[in-house]
Amino acid sequence: MKKIIICFLLCMLFFSFCSAPKSDKPQILVSPKGLVHSFWTTVKEGADEAGKEFNVDIIWKGPSIETDIARQISIVEDNINKKVDAIVIAACDATSLIPVLQKAEVAGIPVVTIDSNIDSDLPRSFVATDNIMAAEKAADVLAELLDGKGEVAIIPFIAGATTNTSREKGFEQGLAKYPDMKLVAKQYSQSEVARAMAVTEDIITAHQDLDGIFAANEAGAVGCAQALKSRGMIGKLKVVGFDAAPNEIKALEEGAIDALIVQNPHLMGYYGVKAAVDIMNGKQVEKRIDTGVFIVTRDNLNTPEIQKLLNPVPKTE
């Protein structure tokens, strides 16, 4: 009898949990490519701000690491089954996410992409930096630092991610404007600091006449700076990084990084959710929303404009 009562109570608890009422607010899944880097923390802050402003619940869920495509697909699939009202996603891969996002649209769940798009017209809006233009600026900055000549390397992050592909393309297009600059090495960091540190050391060892490096994301820039510091090479190579994590800012201040190409991840999160809310309310949204890019150096780091970019104040405050 005791076992029967326990089983009955467990069943009641299970059915009570399963039948728990859905929130009265619309629910939006916001799925970043990863959860490790501070870039995504800032995206979340923007998404949460928009969630409060527009009275929607934000479900923040993504894979732990940016290479775990299968996990992100599973997260999207699960939230389709839970009937969320919209999906805002930074796609881990340009092609692999297409089928599950098509499934979302068929189910009447609008899709907005942020930061990293997919190779499809399916998303209602894409909210991101113009990564080709931004990486061209990185080439311009590196060329200025090197007086337009020298051997340089690039540390991209994950082949197949649209953000990465755009930055590679933009940097190489930018370098083409400088006939006395030569790209001598390219190695991927897999968006891991330790891996970026290792490939930086490999590149430096293989190319003794190297003059500069473009590290195309946060992990790449931090790992590159750590490699230079461990080798006592700060100041011997010119380094342009991407994004503005605290460790990158510290490396900039120490001289391990000479310039940062800085996006506005807070606006990506905010405008991604805003676009989803507008779509849910039957409003037209722009197919492409550019959140801008800035060049940050030691000279302008403490200016009001850059400090506002690095430390955004929520609009609702």
Report the domain count for the chain.
2
Are the C-beta atoms of residues 190 and 130 closer than 8 Å to each other?
A: no
Percent of the chain whose pLDDT exceeds 90: 87
Query: Does residue 86 sit in the same domain as residue 141?
Result: no
Please tell me the predicted confidence (pLDDT) of residue 17: 42
Please tell me the predicted confidence (pLDDT) of residue 160: 87
Query: Does residue 164 sit in the same domain as residue 257?
Result: yes
Q: Which residues pair with 214 in a beta bridge?
A: 154, 240
Please tell me the predicted confidence (pLDDT) of residue 312: 77
Query: Does residue 154 sit in the same domain as residue 110?
Result: no
Residue 90 lies in domain: 24-128+265-291
Please tell me the predicted confidence (pLDDT) of residue 315: 53
Question: CA angle, corner 261, sides to 248 and 163, nearest 5?
Answer: 100
pLDDT band at 23 (very low <50, low <70, confident <90, very high): low
pTM of the model: 0.81
Query: Does residue 144 sit in the same domain as residue 249?
Result: yes
Give the single-character DSSP code of 269.
H
Query: Does residue 154 sit in the same domain as residue 234?
Result: yes
Cα separations in angstroms, 78 against 101, 106, 120, 124, 199: 12, 15, 22, 21, 37
Q: Which CATH number does the domain housing residue 98 bear?
A: 3.40.50.2300
Please tell me the predicted confidence (pLDDT) of residue 78: 98
Q: Are strands 27-31 and 288-290 parallel, antiparallel or unpaired?
A: unpaired
pLDDT over threshold 80, residue 114:
yes
Query: Does residue 144 sit in the same domain as residue 109?
Result: no
Please tell me the predicted confidence (pLDDT) of residue 15: 43
What's the chain's length in residues?
317
Higher-confidence position of 184 and 39? 184
| Mean pLDDT, residues 160-179 | 95
Half-sphere exposure in the Cβ direction for 225 (13 Å, CA): 26
pLDDT over threshold 80, residue 11:
no
pLDDT over threshold 60, residue 8:
no
Calculate the average pLDDT of the chain.
92
7 assigned to some structural domain: no
Percent of the chain whose pLDDT exceeds 70: 91
Query: Does residue 154 sit in the same domain as residue 247?
Result: yes
Both tokens of 214, joined, read: 């473009």
Query: Does residue 97 sit in the same domain as residue 33?
Result: yes
Both tokens of 279, joined, read: 């779509």
Query: Does residue 215 sit in the same domain as residue 108?
Result: no
**Interatomic CA distance for residues 140 and 136, integer angstroms:** 6
Determine which of 1-5, 97-101, 159-163, 294-298 has the lowest per-residue pLDDT on average: 1-5
Query: Does residue 197 sit in the same domain as residue 223?
Result: yes
| Mean pLDDT, residues 239-251 | 96
Query: Does residue 109 sit in the same domain as residue 190?
Result: no
The 10s digit of each residue's pLDDT in 78-107 is: 999 999 999 999 999 999 999 999 999 999
222 assigned to some structural domain: yes
Query: Does residue 135 sit in the same domain as residue 256?
Result: yes
pLDDT over threshold 90, residue 238:
yes
The CA-based dihedral angle spanning residues 110, 114, 116, 117, taken in that order and rounded to the nearest 10 degrees: 30
Please tell me the predicted confidence (pLDDT) of residue 314: 59
Please tell me the predicted confidence (pLDDT) of residue 67: 92
